[in-house]
């Protein structure tokens, strides 16, 4: 591990973000992803390393700290993985190494079936002389590689910044005129998606209140301000109105490798009701929410729990010690309940999410 003032400087950055994540001062997957990226940029720019392994190790350890701080904010880990993937790609282009050694073997043949890794377009054609582990000048490697890496990180950053726009781009292909759309909660992605579609189409949105946070209220307000005809309904009537709904559009907290997702509570209710009425369920989410995780702990323990006071406050004092109140924040929605994911990386059925994961992240980085 590098020592010295610079190292301490970025360690402090990490600590700040860690405690922010712990205290839930950063909520929302995109925000967390952005903050993570900023810290990683600091880390890369300040870190001292003389070969790629050292750099990867530095980022791994930083990533591990962040993920442990808030293991249920999956986008943090995803961002770290994505940055690592980019760094590896850049290094490979810069070092002009053949992507894989070309010697044939049977096991290689088997791997041909694997989804091709997506090459990241190289940032610069410069002919840097990469001297790894140069004993005379240990910084030379870092010096020559850093500008490229910073650009790579900037790319990830730009992608995150524009994620809503790029998802909304396809909005008018998914929403037709006179459709009745049900949504739940307040997902910025869904919000911008619907607003983008409203430029081209006339449709109606039914927003469920989404208790106990009632973020549906804000969503309904924002949509109707944008000139979309909007109805706000209580959660309990989702099933009853589903027969009139032509499409369910949901946001996601995280999409996992088997094609299932974590989404705000009530999503499972809406998705199940939609299945009963054969209404398609479409999920809008940025690619940074795709998490290389199988539904390992899909039950109870995977869900984040929030403050029970919104369900049963202290005003009901004499009840408080008689009942256990749980207020799970997310639902796990099984892959067979979702019909399509709309991401900034194109539209995908739940069954090919695992392929996106193979393409986006390196296998070595899945375990941070």
Partner 1 sequence: MALTELIEKSSAGTMFELSGVLDKGTQQLTDRIPNSISLNAGCELFNLFVTVATHDLGSLSDFKDKLVRQGNRYIAEAALYSEKIAGFTNGFVKDGSVILTHSYSRVVMKALLHAHKRKRISVYVTEAKPRGLGLKTYETLTAAGIPCTVVLDSTVAYVMDKVDFVLVGSEAVVESGGLINATGSNQIAIIAKHANKPFYALAESFKFRRLFPLSQYDLPTHGPGVLPFPRHIPEAPPAPLINGQPLVDEFKDAMFPVSISTGSWTQKSMSAEQVALNPEVDYTKPDLISLVISDVGILTPEGVSHYLVGMFAG
Looking up tokens 């997902």 gives 187
Residue ranges in 347-366 that form contacts with partner 1 under rule CB under 8 A: 351-352, 354-355, 358, 363
114 lies in the binding site for partner 1 (CB under 8 A): yes
Give how far Cα 254 sits from Cα of 23, 290, 359, Å. Answer: 20, 6, 17
Smallest separation, CB 103 to partner 1 (Å): 9
**Residue 337 interacts with partner 1 (CB under 8 A): yes or no:** no
| Among residues 259, 283, 345, 365, the one that binds partner 1 under rule CB under 8 A | 259
- Rg (the chain; Cα; Å): 23
Query: Under the criterion CB under 8 A, does residue 98 sit at the interface with partner 1?
Result: no
What number of residues does the chain have?
A: 368
Per-residue interface string for the shown chain with partner 1, residues 277-296, x marking contact by CB under 8 A: -----------------x-x
- Least CB distance to partner 1 at residue 242 (A): 21
101 counts as binding partner 1 under rule CB under 8 A: no
Q: Which are the contacts of 39, defined by CB distance < 8 A and separation ≥ 6? A: 10, 13, 14, 17, 62, 66
Torsion sign (Cα): 201, 170, 173, 235:
negative
> Does 257 engage in binding with partner 1 (CB under 8 A)?
yes
Using the rule CB under 8 A, give the single segment among 102-110, 133-141, 172-180, 304-312 that binds partner 1: 102-110
CB atoms within 10 A of CB 156: 21
Position among 3, 110, 136, 321 found at the interface with partner 1 (CB under 8 A): 110
Part of the chain binding partner 1 (CB under 8 A), chosen from 2-10, 105-113, 148-156, 247-255 = 105-113
Interface stretch with partner 1, choices 76-84, 100-108, 225-233, 316-324 (CB under 8 A): 100-108
DSSP states of 86-113: HHHHHHHHHTT--SS-----HHHHHHTT
Mark the segment that binds partner 1 (CB under 8 A) among 109-117, 121-129, 173-181, 207-215: 109-117
Residue 112 in the binding site for partner 1 (CB under 8 A): yes
| Closer residue to partner 1 in complex, CB, 205/357 | 357
Is residue 212 reached through a cis peptide bond, with omega within 30 degrees of 0 on the bond before it? Answer: yes
Could you tell me which stretch among 81-89, 98-106, 154-162, 184-192 binds partner 1 (CB under 8 A)? Answer: 98-106
Provide the sign of the torsion angle of the four alpha carbons 300, 265, 182, 222, taken in this order. Answer: negative
Number of residues lying near partner 1 (CB under 8 A): 23
When asked if residue 109 is in the footprint of partner 1 (CB under 8 A), the reply is yes
Please tell me the distance from the alpha carbon of residue 90 to that of residue 203, in angstroms, as a whole number. Answer: 45
Choose between 111 and 200: whose C-beta lies nearer to partner 1.
Answer: 111
Among positions 200, 297, 300, 305, the unique one binding partner 1 when judged by CB under 8 A: 297
d(CA 243, CA 17): 45
Backbone angles phi, psi at 27, to 5 degrees: -125, 150
**Of 196 and 273, CB closest to partner 1:** 273
Give the separation between CA 265 and CA 333, rounded to whole angstroms.
Answer: 10
Are the CB atoms for 186 and 215 separated by under 8 Å?
A: yes
* Angstrom distance (rounded) from CA 201 to CA 197: 6
Tell which one of 5, 98, 104, 121 touches partner 1 (CB under 8 A): 104
Residue 107 binds to partner 1 (criterion: CB under 8 A): yes
3-state secondary structure of 200: coil
Q: Is 43 helix (H, G, I), strand (E, B) or coil?
A: helix
Among 8, 24, 111, 313, indicate the residue that binds partner 1 (CB under 8 A): 111
Structure tokens at 10: 């970025």
313 binds partner 1 (CB under 8 A): no
Contact status: 92 vs partner 1 (CB under 8 A): no
**DSSP characters for 342-360?**
EEBTEEE-GGGHHHHHHHH
**Residues at the interface with partner 1 (CB under 8 A):** 104-107, 109-115, 257-259, 294, 296-297, 351-352, 354-355, 358, 363
């Amino acid at each position: 591990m590098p020592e010295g003032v610079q190292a301490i400087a970025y360690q402090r950055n990490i600590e700040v973000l860690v405690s922010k994540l712990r205290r839930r001062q950063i909520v929302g997957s995109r925000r967390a992803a952005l903050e993570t990226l900023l810290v990683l940029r600091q880390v890369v720019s300040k870190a001292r390393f003389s070969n790629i392994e050292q750099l990867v190790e530095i980022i791994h350890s930083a990533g591990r700290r962040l993920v442990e701080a808030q293991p249920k904010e999956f986008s943090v880990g995803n961002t770290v993985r994505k940055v690592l993937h980019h760094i590896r790609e850049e290094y490979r282009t810069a070092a002009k190494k053949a992507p894989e050694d070309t010697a044939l073997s049977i096991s290689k043949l088997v791997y041909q079936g694997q989804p091709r890794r997506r090459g990241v377009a190289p940032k610069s054609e410069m002919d840097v002389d990469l001297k790894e582990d140069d004993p005379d000048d240990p910084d030379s490697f870092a010096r020559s590689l850093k500008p490229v890496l910073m650009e790579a990180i900037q790319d990830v950053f730009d992608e995150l910044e524009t994620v809503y726009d790029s998802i909304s781009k396809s909005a008018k292909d998914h929403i037709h005129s006179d459709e009745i759309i049900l949504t739940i909660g307040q997902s910025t992605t869904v919000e911008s998606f619907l607003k983008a579609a409203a430029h081209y189409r006339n449709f109606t949105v039914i927003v469920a209140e989404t208790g106990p946070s009632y973020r549906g209220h804000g969503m309904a307000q924002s949509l109707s301000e944008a000139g979309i005809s909007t109805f706000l309904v209580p959660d309990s009537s989702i099933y009853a109105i589903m027969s009139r709904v032509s499409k369910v559009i949901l946001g996601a907290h995280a999409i996992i490798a088997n094609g299932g997702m974590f989404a705000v509570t009530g999503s499972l209710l809406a998705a199940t009701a939609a299945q009963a009425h054969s209404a398609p369920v479409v999920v809008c989410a940025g690619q940074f929410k795709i998490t290389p995780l199988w539904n390992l702990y899909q039950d109870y323990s995977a869900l984040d729990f929030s403050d029970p006071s919104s369900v049963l406050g202290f005003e009901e004092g004499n009840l408080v010690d008689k009942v256990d109140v749980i207020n799970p924040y997310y639902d796990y929605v099984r892959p067979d309940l979702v019909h399509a994911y709309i991401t900034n990386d194109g539209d995908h059925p739940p069954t090919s999410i695992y392929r996106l994961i193979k393409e986006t992240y390196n296998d070595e980085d899945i375990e941070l």
